[in-house]
Every structure is written in C-alpha cells, then in structure tokens.
Amino acid sequence: MLNFEYCNPVKIVFGKGTITELDKLVPADVSVLVLYGGGSIKKNGVYSQVIAALGKRRVLEFSGIEPNPFCETCMKAVEMIKQEKIGFLLAVGGGSVLDAAKFIAAAARYDGTDPWDILAKGAAVKSAVPLGAVLTLPATGSEMNANSVISKAASGEKLFFSSPCVYPQFSILDPETTFTLPARQTINGIVDAYVHVFEQYMTFDVNAPLQDRQAESVLLTLIEEGPKVIQKPLDYDARANVMWAATNALNGLLGCGVPQDWATHMIGHELTAFYGIDHAQSLAVVLPRLLTHCKEAKKAKLLQYGERIFGLKFTAGDECKAADAAIKATEEFFNSLGMHTRLSDYKIDANDAAVKISRRLKERGTMLGERADLSPEDVSEILISCV
C-alpha cells in the first residue's frame, strides 16, 4: 500500500424527506444564493421544498447553469454574490450545478485578477464562500468531494481544480428527487460513477486488498441496481442504492493508498470540449479502448476484475483472452444500459478527434495514466480505435 492522507469533512444527510433539514443546516443570519440549472427542480417539486425549508431567510436565485458549466456563466453569479453580499451558496442539482457552485464560491473570494487561473494555472484557492448542496442527480460524486470541472466557452477548454476550501459543508441526498430524471441522465450517472471507480482501481497492483474490494463493492452495486432504476424509475431502494454508490465512487476513500489513472477522464474532457457530447458518453467511448491499449500494464487487475465482477474464470496461458473478455463485459454492461460506446454513434470522426486532442495534449506537455507514460501519440491511437 502507498502512503496517503485522507480527510473528508462533508456531512451527508441521506434519505426520504430530508430536504426539510435545510432549516437546521443553512445559517439563518446571512443571505443565501440558490444555484440551479434549467428548471427541472421547479417541475419535480424540489425547488418548492427547498424554498419552504429555507423559511424566512433572505434568499436570492441564480439559475441557468448549463451541463459542463461555463466559466462565463459562473462569473455572472460571482458578480451577484459581490453586489448582494451573499454569505452562503446552496447548489440544488447535479454535478454541473455543484461544480459550478464550487468554482463560484472560490472565484468570489479570489484575490488575483482572473479566477480562470485557478483552473488554467493552478492558482491557489485560499478561501471560498461557504456552500451546501441538495443533490438531484447521482453521478459525479461532487456532493462529497472538493473537485470541480469547469469549461470555458471562449477557449473551448474543460479543466478541473480541487481545493479543501470548496468541500460542501453538507449535502442532502433524497433519492426521491431522482424519480423523475430523464433516462439519459440516469444512465449517464451510472456510467460516470462506474468509471470513477475504474480510475482508482484499474491500475497496477500495490497490495491493497481492502481498497480493491471496496471498489468492487461499488461496481457490483452499480451493475445490480443500475438496470433496476432504468426499468423502474420509482423503485426507492434501487434509487437509494445507486445514489449512495455514486457518492462512494468518488469521495476519496477508494483512492487511499493506491495509484490513480484518470486518463479516461482527461481524454473524455477533451471530447466534450471539442464535440459537446455528454461527459459520461465520452467516458463510455474511451474506457474500453484505453483498457485494450494498456492491457499489459493493467493485466493483473483486469483478471481480478473479470473474475470477481463477471465471474470470468481463467487458466494459465489464458490471461490475454480473459483480460479481453473483462473489457468486453464492461462495454456490454454500458451497452445494456442503453449507452453507446463508439465515436461513430455520436457522429464524431475518430481521426479528427485523434488529431485535435493529441495536438492539444502535446501543446500542454501532458502525459497521462497512473505511471504518466501515456503519450499524446498513445492517446491518438486510442481515439482512432474508438471509431
């Protein structure tokens, strides 16, 4: 096992009817800015529950946060925070709203000239407006981590930052808020969470059996419960199990003491930045081909994964075929959920993607993978095979 530090101070309030807890969790003596997206929370009743729970507080709103939120949108909220002397941010939505809230919280207190430098140049986040969340879409794990991914319309970039200053003080997870999610978002969430586990699990082995099994616990839960929520959107237990699995997929615990990869995410972010496909779609396309490309380096873990998750037995001499079978089973799981896994399914030209993305990674001098040995040329090969 590798040395590590772990600390996650987010308070999770989980279950039916828990939005009323906002009254205890949100400070009463400051102005609150409620952040949300396109208005689905008004249709499904979440908005009115939130407003009712906030009671007599001074509440302002900032809506219109888009999927893969833009820095440009976030900066409008920052203006509002400064003008209205906002003391607390309440993000109500999925990962995009939460990620935006984190960037807004940090940008509002940023002491440099351009807050985009937090993402583009790794400028330090020294403080942030306190924030909390009501999660309505299990997927990114943003409700229980300090990460945020933000895009910039002007430059077509999609970058991430992480800072302990932007941990939500609390996150309310009421599975009933997910009953009315469109199937596409439900499916995206399952795939996103699955790949989060992969980035922390499917690496070279460092003899950390507990972390391996904790990761496998999340994968098996997503495989078993994922199809249920697609078939029966009102199945409370299945919704609850998927929701808690997605949170556990990226709250830091699985990454304790093990190497981490994140190449699939880095390549996927570029696909979204250049072609606008959903984040989870980009992951579902890249992961199988990346695994095939890195099969030798990841073989031991691929065999363990195939055996423990899909019951794929193998004998000596058979390892290469068994690793392929594990990769195939992964892609088939995504497909079974209704997720397409080829660039052509999204009308993206694989060669075009390979040229553009490998060029950008080269310009940035980025090497990917848990050993930082995946070059822009490797990424080009991977993307060509995603055709």
Amino acid in position 216: E
Does 18 bind its own copies (CB under 8 A)? Our answer is yes
- CA–CA separation, 43 vs 145, rounded Å? 28
Under the binding rule (CB under 8 A), the answer on residue 5 touching its own copies is yes
Within positions 208 to 227, which residues make up the interface with its own copies, using CB under 8 A? 208-211, 213-214, 216-218, 220-221, 224-225
Regarding 260 and contact with its own copies (CB under 8 A), the answer is no
Given 11, 58, 340, 362, the residue binding its own copies (CB under 8 A): 11
State the minimum distance, in angstroms, from the CB of residue 226 to its own copies. 12
DSSP assigned state of 65: P
Structure tokens at 188: 């995206």
Tokens of 65: 């946060």
- The structure tokens listed for 327 are 């990769």
Q: How far is the CB of 1 from its own copies (least distance, A)?
A: 4
3-class DSSP state for residue 152?
Answer: strand
Distance of CA 46 to the CA centre of its chain: 22
Site for its own copies contains 9 (CB under 8 A):
yes
- Cα–Cα distance measured from residue 87 to residue 27, given in angstroms and rounded to the nearest whole number: 9
Nearer to its own copies, 73 or 163 (CB): 163
Q: Is 199 in the site for its own copies (CB under 8 A)?
A: no
Q: Of 86 and 90, which CB lies nearer to its own copies in the complex structure?
A: 90
DSSP code of residue 123: -
Query: Which one of 86, 230, 245, 337 is in contact with its own copies (CB under 8 A)?
Result: 245
Distance CA 371, CA 15 (A): 40
What is the residue whose two structure tokens read 């499917």? 202
Q: What is the chain's length?
A: 387
* Phi, psi for 340 (deg, rounded to 5): -80, 150
Q: Which is nearer to its own copies, 76 or 213 (CB)?
A: 213
Q: Which string of x and - marks every residue 328-367 that binds its own copies (by CB under 8 A)?
A: ----------------------------------------
Q: Which residue from 6, 19, 55, 14 is spatially nearest to 236, judged by alpha carbons?
A: 14
Binding residues for its own copies restricted to 288-307, rule: CB under 8 A: none
Query: Is there binding between residue 309 and its own copies (CB under 8 A)?
Result: no
Site for its own copies contains 131 (CB under 8 A): no
By the criterion CB under 8 A, which residues form the site for its own copies? 1-18, 207-211, 213-214, 216-218, 220-221, 224-225, 237, 240-241, 244-245, 248, 253, 256-257
